[in-house]
Structure 1
């Protein structure tokens, strides 16, 4: 099989070894954040390998101390005029569908930070390996965005109201918590990762049982008492089942005063500092996700992301990025500034459907048309400069 030369400076590295391919996110100094080039290359290689009858197994990992910290926020900030980021947003949501429905065995090796869009490349896979250094979170609402990249579909399927809790609070999960919740499949100590990867390469097969058996040679069982989030589920369910955000926050704060609930205070502090607009949109999106199909959730998320980047409801997303990644003062000035000022009418604007040709084009079912619906085949390229 012909092998492409490896460019060590490329943001995504692709290697083929027999019947196994390895995809490495390669922006370690930027915590492997997802740029337009990253999305382009990941989609290119996944399509190539799914079509290649010789490739049986795909391994995806991140270089350095993170798997991926999510989307490249500076890219969005610098592209805030016009629809500069429309193409990468479209391509990312289109890619999310293919990751969820990939037809060959994939193993994610998730070492270090994994957030937002980065987690969208690991959680849906048949095999996702985490370590004692893995840290998961969904921080989008805190910067004026929403729970995106298929997580408005994933989070509502977690036990109880954990989905609302994770999407609204930016709470952190460790690797063992992720396994306990089904956000990862196996827990492996980090010093064993190199050996695990070598064994997967030598396996040279994508047979699910064989891959599972190899991973289980290195993995540790996660005991219920080791998963701290499970021990907090009763309190989380009690608070995050409430209908409105105001009621959720009031209930959560009341619970913080009880013995043993000191863990609530730091979570609550971050919760209250988040964008009111981002919080209200996120809550509604997760609640709708409880009854949505994956394609419907992705189309909704595409709409939400574009409406927020277009400042249809507010400029909070750019203010959130400024405070976190540009000026780094961590003092965003939200507009509107309070939950009470974010009306249902404003939230409705963010969810307003596009005309059919402007929606995300999820490919029809069936192998022959599986990779259809690409950005370049949509109406969007022809609209550039015509707005």
Structure 2
């Protein structure tokens, strides 16, 4: 079995070709394996190549360090804020990659041992087999910084039970490995200590046969029960509050619930919602709700348009102010933009005109 030679110091995507198995390792652990052009380009190129390669039967994707992937490279977007469409190509390639993963012809397995957020989670959730552990942490926190739920998540979140999708998209709430299984965003829970052994076993099988791969993963996996305090146990409150017509109505309804006995968990969530970009929240809510009636392709096209117009700051500068506060100056004090006065119909009407 031939193994491709790689430079561990420079390559942020490591590729191994082992018999009929192709292993991709996201290899930028210091930056939590963020998605940059250096990730998107080789990942897209290799997946396309392997799909046509008769020798490639199984593709495994994993991350180095304590993260699978923490999502998009926010500093890349920020640094390109004054250059027209500086990130257009990488955004387009990423959306193409998202569509490709959803429709991939070969068997794919994601081994998600740690942080998996935003665009990073789009390399996990659509997989036929997505394996999570007790260390896995998932979230879609984009709305809080003035962005929106993207990379196919307006499609995926809109198909979760009840109004869980709106809740996750608007609040950026985190789910652990057990909760991902229960919500249907991952397929198998394998204890972290067993993950290397599972990978070795998949390599030894040397096949992409779905039944064989599924049976092998199941042998290593354990059944899960979510904790009593899990957000998934609060479905009735989430459905009640996050079914409201607008962000303002959702927040008002959530405030009412927060005042009831036993609902102390709502207080920090509500605080985060109120600190988030109103523009990002409005666009995210509308996008997820429209996603229920849209195909994957329609969702990705819509998200692409929203992303480009957001990066062009056509609606507001919230996203750049949010990135500045979170990752540049790290003061966590984003300044309110005047664009918050837009109604959400106005925002969406403007942003979808490409």
TM-score (norm 1): 0.88
Match of 2:155 in 1: 153
Match of 2:182 in 1: 180
SS class of match (2:337) = coil
Specify whether residues 349 and 162 from structure 1 end up closer, same or farther in structure 2 by C-alpha distance, changes over 3 A only. same
Distance 1:225 1:307 in 2: 40
Contact 1:276 1:334 in 2 (8 A): no
Residue from 73, 77, 82 that aligns with 2:84: 82
Structure 2 regions of 5+ residues with no counterpart? none
Match of 1:20 in 2: 21
Deviation at 1:139, TM superposition (A): 0.7
Match of 1:378 in 2: none
Specify whether residues 2 and 189 from structure 1 end up closer, same or farther in structure 2 by C-alpha distance, changes over 3 A only. closer
Distance 2:258 2:220 in 1: 39
Distance 1:227 1:264 in 2: 12
Question: 1:127-166, CA deviations, whole angstroms, 9 ceiling, x for partnerless residues?
Answer: 0001111110001000110000000010000000001000
Runs of 4+ in 1 over 6 A off after TM superposition: none
Match of 2:105 in 1: 103
Counting matched residue pairs gives 352
Match of 2:317 in 1: 315
Deviation at 1:2, TM superposition (A): 6.3
Specify whether residues 222 and 2 from structure 1 end up closer, same or farther in structure 2 by C-alpha distance, changes over 3 A only. closer
SS class of match (2:245) = coil
TM-score (norm 2): 0.97
Deviation at 1:242, TM superposition (A): 0.5
SS class of match (1:146) = coil
Question: 1:59-96, CA deviations, whole angstroms, 9 ceiling, x for partnerless residues?
Answer: 00000000000000000001112110000001000110
Distance 1:106 1:346 in 2: 38
Structure 1 regions of 5+ residues with no counterpart? 355-387
Residues 311-350 of structure 1: pairs in structure 2 closer than 5 A: 311-336=313-338, 338=340, 340-342=341-343, 344-350=345-351
Residues 217-228 of structure 1: pairs in structure 2 closer than 5 A: 217-223=219-225, 228=230
Question: 1:242-297, CA deviations, whole angstroms, 9 ceiling, x for partnerless residues?
Answer: 01111100011111122222111111111111101101110110010000001111
Residues 110-189 of structure 1: pairs in structure 2 closer than 5 A: 110-189=112-191
Match of 1:198 in 2: 200
Match of 2:54 in 1: 53
Specify whether residues 139 and 232 from structure 1 end up closer, same or farther in structure 2 by C-alpha distance, changes over 3 A only. same
Match of 1:6 in 2: 6
Distance 2:344 2:15 in 1: 47
Contact 1:23 1:58 in 2 (8 A): yes
Match of 1:374 in 2: none
Deviation at 1:344, TM superposition (A): 2.8
SS class of match (1:155) = helix
Residues 32-51 of structure 1: pairs in structure 2 closer than 5 A: 32-51=33-52
Contact 1:65 1:112 in 2 (8 A): yes
Question: 1:6-35, CA deviations, whole angstroms, 9 ceiling, x for partnerless residues?
Answer: 221201000011111100001100000000
Q: CA RMSD in A?
A: 1.4
Distance 2:144 2:307 in 1: 14
